[in-house]
Amino acid sequence: MSRPDIKRRTTLDHRKKQFSTPTYAPVEYKHRLNFYATPPTADITLEQFEQWGIDRLRVLAELEACSFRNKSPIETASHMKPLLDKYLPLSSSTSNSPALQAERQKDHYSHFILRLAFASTEDLRRRFARAETMLFRIRFQGDDSKERAGFVEGLSLEWEAVGEEERRQYAEELRAAGGGYPKRIEEESYFKVDWEKVPELVEGRRVFLRGGMAYVPSREQMSMVVAEFTGRLERALELTSRALPRLDEDDRLSPILTHLSQNFTTPDANYSATQTSLAGADISARTIDTLSSSFPLCMQNLHRSLRRDAHLKHYGRLQYTLFLKGIGLNLEECLIFWRGGFNKITDDAFNKDYRYNVRHAYGEVGGDSNRRGKGYSPFSCHKILTEHPPGPGEAHGCPYRHFSTENLMGLLQTVGVRDQEALRGVREDKEKTKFHLACNRVFEYAHKQEIQKVREEGTWGAAQLETLIHPNEYFKRSYLLRNLGKHQKKEEGEGDVKMEE
């Protein structure tokens, strides 16, 4: 996540002076929480417009980084607290703070400013909605319970209370769906809502379903409110995106908005081949076997599966092809590599079923013309960890996450990690779902001597040894460490994939 650049655009300066006396429309914010249903109407200065947008962006970017690093909700909340206090404070209604209304106005306006900035593409909309949802959830949890109840009441959601008789009738099912909660059915009250309103509860089988209605215990209220928040925001963003072309005509705002949206870059969006290429390295179909000792475990697993089965299922091929592309294997060599790997099928079958996939991944064919020439980006750890978990017979994904502990230990030992302490550490990391940590731990173990060397010699800075968050970075760093001296480091300016600390 790159840090929002606060550098001002000089072209705006002379204009800003014209808008220096703000006036506020008398909007009263009754609640600390906001569903952002009404767009702002009062005037603000251009400077405020930009500053408030930047402040909120810092918060959202950091939230995204938290999810990216797999932090738990509690860790995220405590990590975010100082940032929120600094950039987007929101006092409770009972605090009687004199800044109360101003804080809420800034929260309200900055949300809408970023809505404009991030409505333009589907990807930005999705990420914005996700980060805003995280923010809303943290605030909802932190809200005073009385104020929260008042806020929820004001939303007038379509929830039907489950009557006493019905609750008794389904007592057993309701308790089973709640994982045994509550002990006595009288201790909890339930709402009945269309199941589509609570997809996350349905997905996790955390509610009783009957005839299309979900029976939601009131303790799950947050999940429902959050789902409602996300749903409304997604719809609103969609509408905003359609209104955007008209906004383009405003030459005061569009540079600011473009600037804001450019600073919401995703860590894995642009991992281009040039960033990872290693000058002078022999990266070709026949060297992959050797190079694979520098691959992260997910890719080693794919490589071993390919060599064992002479086949990989679709997502495995996709994950591995893009990784190989990322380490600098060119298309021709990549085709040779796969042809050799799938050695149990005929040339015809290979050309028919697989050749196109590989070329597509390299951007040679298919896709929209924007992608042509670049193809797809190699998957980041985040993507591998969160999307498309492997099913039966599939070898893609992240072994630290998707393997059982036992199988993970087995795999680590076969690739040469036999140190009991390292294995125990990985086991603990996995139990705490710190998959990044586990992977970085293995990296450090496997490159212990080299890391010590560059540290002692002071040839590598901290930035070059920070937490790995991308399989291609893993390879690059491993390769460079193992070939110290052979290759001059050229990546002084490395940091395109850097995250905020």
Q: Which of residues 272-331 bind other proteins (CB under 8 A)?
A: 301, 313-315, 317-318
Q: How far is the CB of 473 from other proteins (least distance, A)?
A: 23
Q: Of 73, 163, 340, 366, which one interacts with other proteins (CB under 8 A)? A: 366
**Can residue 247 be called a binding residue for other proteins (CB under 8 A)?**
yes
- 97 or 350, CB closer to other proteins? 350
Q: What DSSP line would sit under 112-146, residue for residue?
A: HHHHHHH-SSHHHHHHHHHHHHHHHHHHHHHS-HH
Short-list 321, 437, 300, 303, CA closest to 379: 321
Q: Which residues contact 414 (CB under 8 A, 6 or more apart)?
A: 304
Query: With binding defined as CB under 8 A, does residue 26 bind other proteins?
Result: no
User: Shortest gap between Cβ of 365 and other proteins (angstroms)?
Assistant: 6
- Only one residue has tokens 């319970």, namely 145
Q: Is 209 in the site for other proteins (CB under 8 A)?
A: yes
Site string for other proteins, 409-428 (x = CB under 8 A): --x-----------------
**H or E stretch including 190?**
strand 190-194
Residue 467 DSSP class: P
Q: Which is nearer to other proteins, 48 or 478 (CB)?
A: 48
In terms of CB distance, is 56 or 148 closer to other proteins?
56
SS3 383: helix
Contact with other proteins (CB under 8 A) among 7, 10, 14, 20: 20
Q: Which amino acid is at 234?
A: E
Helix (H), strand (E), coil (C) string for 297-360: HHHHHHHHHHHHHCCCCHHHHHHHHHHHHHHCCCHHHHHHHHHHHCCCCCHHHHHHHCHHHHHH
Q: Is 298 annotated as a binding residue?
A: yes
CB burial of residue 461 (10 Å; 0-12, 13-18, 19+) = exposed
Residue 109 lies near other proteins (rule: CB under 8 A): yes
Among the listed ranges 6-14, 266-274, 394-402, 480-488, the one in contact with other proteins (CB under 8 A) is 394-402
66 is in an annotated binding site: no
Structural tokens at position 62: 């950091």
* 203 sits near other proteins (criterion: CB under 8 A): yes
What are 135's two structure tokens?
A: 């923010």
Q: Smallest distance, Å, CB 306 to other proteins?
A: 14
Cα separation of 36 and 232, whole Å? Answer: 9
Tell me if 381 is assigned to a ligand binding site.
yes
Total number of residues binding other proteins (CB under 8 A)? 90
Q: Which of 26, 98, 212, 493 binds other proteins (CB under 8 A)?
A: 212
Quick note: the x/- pattern for other proteins over 150-189, rule CB under 8 A, is -----------------------x-xxx-xx---------
CB of 310 vs other proteins, minimal distance in Å:
14
Does 353 engage in binding with other proteins (CB under 8 A)? yes
In the window 456-475, what residues touch other proteins (CB under 8 A)? none
Place of tokens 């951007």: 363
Give the span between the Cα atoms of 456 and 454, in whole angstroms. Answer: 5
Q: Tell me if 44 contacts other proteins by CB under 8 A.
A: yes
Shortest distance in whole angstroms from residue 258 CB to other proteins: 16
**356 forms part of the interface with other proteins (CB under 8 A):** yes
**Within a 13 Å sphere around the CA of 84, how many CA atoms are in the beta-carbon half?**
18
Q: Does 487 sit near other proteins (CB under 8 A)?
A: no
- Closer residue to other proteins in complex, CB, 7/242: 242
**CA atoms of 336 and 64, how far apart (whole Å):** 39
Binding residues for [4Fe-4S] cluster: 298, 381, 398, 439
Binding residues: 298, 381, 398, 439
